[in-house]
Amino acid sequence: MITPGLVEALTGIAGARHVRTAPAERLTYARDGLPTHRRVPAVVVLPGSRDELVAVVRLLAAHHVPFVPRGAGTGLSGGALADGAAVLLVLTRLNRILSLDPGNRVAVVEPGVVNVRLSAAAAAHGLHYAPDPSSQTACTIGGNVAENAGGPHCLKYGVTAQHVLALEVVLADGRIVELGSPGGEPWGPDVVGLFVGSEGNFGIATRIAVRLLPLPRAVRTLLAAFASLRAAGEAVSAVIASGIVPAALEMMDQSCIRAVEDSVYAAGYPRDAAAVLLVELDGHSDEAVAADTETVQELLSSHDAASIRVAADAGERERLWQGRKKAFGAMGRLSRDLVVQDAVVPRSALPDVLETIGRIAATYQVTVSNVFHAGDGNLHPNISFDARVPGLRTRVDAASTAIMEACVAVGGTITGEHGVGLDKLRYMPLIFDAESLAAMRAVRRVWDPEERVNPGKVVPVHACREWTGVRSVEWGVRSVASRDAPADSALRTPHSALDT
Amino acid sequence: MSLLDRVRALLGDDAVEIAGGADAVPRVAPASPDAVALLLGTAREEGWRVRLEGAGTWLPADAPADLALTTRRLDRVPAVEPQDLSATAEAGIGCDLLRQQLADRGTWLALDPPGLAGRTLGSVVATATAGPLRHGFGAVRDHILGVTFVTGDGRLVQSGGRVVKNVAGYDLTKLEAGGFGAFGVIVLVHLRLRALPRADQTFVLAGTREDLTQVAEDVAAAGLQPAALELMSPALARRDGWALAVRLAGSAALVAAEEAGLRGASGGRFTALRAEEAHGFWMRAAESFATRPITFRTGGLPDSSDELLDLLQHQVGDEWVSASPGVGAIRWAGDTTVDRLRRLRRTLAGLEVPLTLERAPWPIRSAVGHFGAYREGVGPLVAGLRRTFDPGEAFVVAVEGSD
Ligand SMILES: Cc1cc2nc3c(=O)[nH]c(=O)nc-3n(C[C@H](O)[C@H](O)[C@@H](O)COP(=O)(O)OP(=O)(O)OC[C@H]3O[C@@H](n4cnc5c(N)ncnc54)[C@H](O)[C@@H]3O)c2cc1C
Ligand SMILES: Cc1cc2nc3c(=O)[nH]c(=O)nc-3n(C[C@H](O)[C@H](O)[C@H](O)COP(=O)(O)OP(=O)(O)OC[C@H]3O[C@@H](n4cnc5c(N)ncnc54)[C@H](O)[C@@H]3O)c2cc1C
């Protein structure tokens, strides 16, 4: 329980200025980037150093008080929210780049370092930190690790998990663990890989070693306009199947294009196009990038691109990207509220799924705009609405659910980069059976037996099968699919959409 | 009922491949994931100790057990999707057969693990043994989108999925990739593929280790991004001296540009191999590892690679060594003792470098362990994860040694 005595002890560690108890102060932290969830934390603490953070965690452990780590609060699944029984630990003051080793291309940072600051520091050495979420000017590396964040350039360079070498973590009980090794070779089982994407449920990352990559020497950016979503979707599949791996391959639909063009981020996108693809190719050699760009242009043309524009210089490239990276902000102007959705489908399913989403929007009479990482099949169907309109919230929820179901039905998943948090708990049983959810919960309890860090997130506990003791009797009589049975029945696991 | 009668009653007569080999351990080959679950559920009830086998070409099948579970009948490839560059395969498929099926559809799994070509996919994932292509395409885990596995008490668990980006739930796939079977039997794997490269060229330069180390640094400094940049000992490369092998793969334009860059960075000293020569070169190197009784891998920061090679040479010899200096990874093969391996692991741990024992006869494996000399706090986590996925200790896996 959070008692006045505990608050006093917290103040003793972090200082009065950095322990926030006044309602107005706590309200600032009631949401993250997603407007549909709201929780007011009991106390907010902003530790000023790793040692203060560890001391706070140990104090909370001694009192069995739940707590929630928070970076910049840009998360889009309600992951960084704490309720009245929990303490919110804001990590933005742990913002030092501890070392940057250009020879080995590694950096060690504290969790509160803002993503773009690391790339800026690395640029001096001709290097960059590749994962570039569109929120990179605000979000923290700690938040990126917890969410396994992606970004436009992750198509070629891989998501956060592929760039984290080692971690120092403070567990819920205050113990420190050192995961991985400085060179990135797992030390024992790959517990670094297991931690990345655990959404704050396994402990708090206090030090993060990441890989840096050389800045590409040659870059080409092009914008292709299409008369239909289907044509744009088919062009994406064609590029992927060609074997050329663009650095980025992003799609925006008409509603998004117009929102951007009506905003201060206007990038000169064609307003009458049904969709545009923003394609970037990069590499070491100018000739190779030029040749690949030509191949991609041919592919886009043969897939009915109405126009293709190649950025003439760095300024134009910047403007094309600015429109894309600020698209969420621009959409915010369409209406009072915006739900940013996140799902993934096999890339070949994009044309059909985009049409299905259009039909869902019509059925529920909501406005959906699409801006997303097309090359990965990672959709962001965003729903603009005004929560004050009676009944609209219910329709937005129903449309969101229908979209998730449509993505799962074609073999996709419910989140590609924003995480489950609170928002997607209800969709987890769409893709995982009770046994698999129980396995996740059991793993969480290895790290945090009391389930005290970021409670109530990621795994819908009510949907888990029990994970203790001896096998139940039904297993003994379960029939076994024989080798002669049709392949699909032999492979399908109970309640699973994944393996079929 | 005897163990064999019990198994036959559960899974049918044809699931028992060998009723009792030289070491009298019966080998059981379940034909479906559900059958694996049923078998392990029963093993848990009966207290049977189970050792896992794929095709049986990599680890010696000498772990003491009541029965051997082989995945070799789980050899279907339910899906290859060239448009999505993904595939789904059962764990018992041989890598050579899988490679052929993928190539027929214009796709490629960019992994070249050590060992014989017929190794099962499951064993490659379970041991996370990447080869020279790790330089350009990453570790084994980077190619795995999801897995289905069966725990030691017979639970069928899925993690990940078959799309290329996925953060739904904790990433248990990472635990299975490189878990040496201690956290479950992998039954199904979803793979990330690449398009078959239009151009694929290998270049080799022979010389002293010192000289080649410098060339490798120059190649990296020139910003080249080869698929493989591998430094190999003479025995492994079948050359008179050490060899530096560079593999360039991708579009014709990319390979041409990289080749020009390679020439520039090395003063034109590399020799290009013809396609068949290149194929034979990489295959022989991979297979050579299966001819020595012991292999391990280690890895540090790229600039420590040379120092680590010196250390290996000094402590265990360097007759069979292959290194990717650009990513700091080293694989060693040969013959040595428990004491030397333990000492080497301790020395490396002092340098913050792990040693993973990949393959050894059981007496050495069980004494040294696949893993050991963990960093702070990791031991209890690993123990907890093992209890979670194998509560009855059914799997006979030498996760940690006995020292
Ligand atoms: C050079 C050499 C040649 C040999 N030739 C022969 C031969 O011709 N015939 C023969 O019978 N034996 C041969 N052997 C012996 C052979 O190693 C054993 O027969 C064999 O059964 C070892 O198999 P394994 O399944 O452990 O290896 P692998 O299949 O390579 O498995 C390696 C590791 O992966 C784990 N694993 C495998 N599959 C999975 C999975 N799906 N999920 C989780 N974990 C998994 C295993 O537990 C093990 O830790 C040879 C051995 C050597 C060294
Ligand atoms: C406009 C906009 C665009 C976005 N674009 C992208 C995008 O392109 N790609 C993408 O992946 N995401 C994107 N996001 C989502 C979000 O920015 C990312 O999820 C980001 O990683 C969150 O970082 P944060 O610092 O804001 O974390 P927070 O929101 O503060 O926290 C997120 C989660 O991380 C946990 N956490 C934070 N720090 C730690 C730590 N040190 N140790 C353990 N757990 C911790 C929290 O408990 C919480 O569960 C976008 C968001 C916005 C608002």
pLDDT in tens, B168-217: 999 999 999 999 999 999 999 999 999 999 999 999 999 999 999 999 99
pLDDT of res. B59: 62
Q: Which residues of A touch B165 (CB under 8 A)?
A: 150, 154, 159, 344, 373, 376-378, 416-417
Domains and CATH numbers, chain B: 79-195 (3.30.465.10), 199-288 (3.30.70.2190), 292-370 (3.30.70)
Side chain identity at residue A449, one-letter code: P
pLDDT at A492 over 50: no
pLDDT at A494 over 80: no
Which residues contact ligand 1 via a Cβ below 6 A? B 52-61, 71, 91, 119-120, 122-123, 126-127, 180-181, 185-186, 290-291
Q: Where are the beta strands (DSSP E) in A317-431?
A: 337-340, 343-344, 367-372, 378-379, 381-385
When mean pLDDT is compared across A90-104, A109-123, A465-479, B388-402, the lowest value belongs to A465-479
pLDDT at B112 over 50: yes
Q: How far is the CA of B251 from the centre of ligand 2 (A)?
A: 36
**Best to test chain A binding among B167, B306, B331, B386 (most A CBs inside 10 Å):** B167
First to last CA, chain A: 47
Can you list the alpha helix ranges (DSSP code H) found in B317-356? 338-350
Q: Count how many residues are written for chain A.
A: 500
Phi, psi of A193, deg, nearest 5: -60, -35
When mean pLDDT is compared across A3-7, A147-151, A270-274, A386-390, the lowest value belongs to A386-390
Sheet of B67-70, strands arranged across: B16-18, B27-28, B67-70, B50-53
pLDDT at B298 over 90: yes
Convert the pLDDT of each residue in B25-64 to its tens digit. 899 999 999 999 999 999 999 999 999 988 766 666 788 8
- Nearest ligand (C-alpha, residue A328): 2
pTM: 0.94
- Are the C-beta atoms of residues A264 and A197 closer than 8 Å to each other? no
pLDDT of res. B18: 80
| Mean pLDDT value of segment A57-61 | 98
For the record, the structure tokens of A200 come out as 């704050």
ipTM reported for the complex, 2 dp: 0.97
> CA A70, CA A91: separation in Å to the nearest integer?
6
Residue partners of A393: CB distance under 8 A and separation at least 6:
A36, A385, A387
pLDDT of res. A496: 31
Closest CA to A339 of A70, A31, A132: A31
Q: How far is the CA of A427 from the centre of ligand 2 (A)?
A: 20
> CA B169, CA B167: separation in Å to the nearest integer?
6
pLDDT of res. A239: 95
**Best to test chain A binding among B10, B165, B262, B355 (most A CBs inside 10 Å):** B165
pLDDT at B313 over 50: yes
Read off the pLDDT band of A482 (50, 70, 90). very low
DSSP annotation of A140: B
pLDDT at A107 over 90: yes
pLDDT at A490 over 90: no
Per DSSP, the residues of B150-161 read E-TT--EEEEE-
pLDDT at B378 over 90: yes
pLDDT of res. B54: 82
What is Dmax (Cα atoms) for chain B?
72
Convert the pLDDT of each residue in A209-241 to its tens digit. 999 999 999 999 999 999 999 999 999 999 998
Distance from CA of B240 to the nearest CA of A (A): 31
Convert the pLDDT of each residue in B316-356 to its tens digit. 999 999 999 999 999 999 999 999 999 999 999 999 999 99
pLDDT above 70 covers a percentage of chain A that reads: 93
Side chain identity at residue B106, one-letter code: G
pLDDT at A480 over 80: no
Domains and CATH numbers, chain A: 4-90 (3.30.43.10), 97-214 (3.30.465.10), 218-402 (3.40.462.10), 432-497 (no CATH)
pLDDT at B21 over 90: no
pLDDT at B22 over 90: no
Read off the pLDDT band of A331 (50, 70, 90). confident
Q: What is the mean pLDDT of chain A?
A: 92
pLDDT of res. B60: 67
Name the pairing type of β-strands A176-180 and A164-170: antiparallel
Read off the pLDDT band of A489 (50, 70, 90). very low
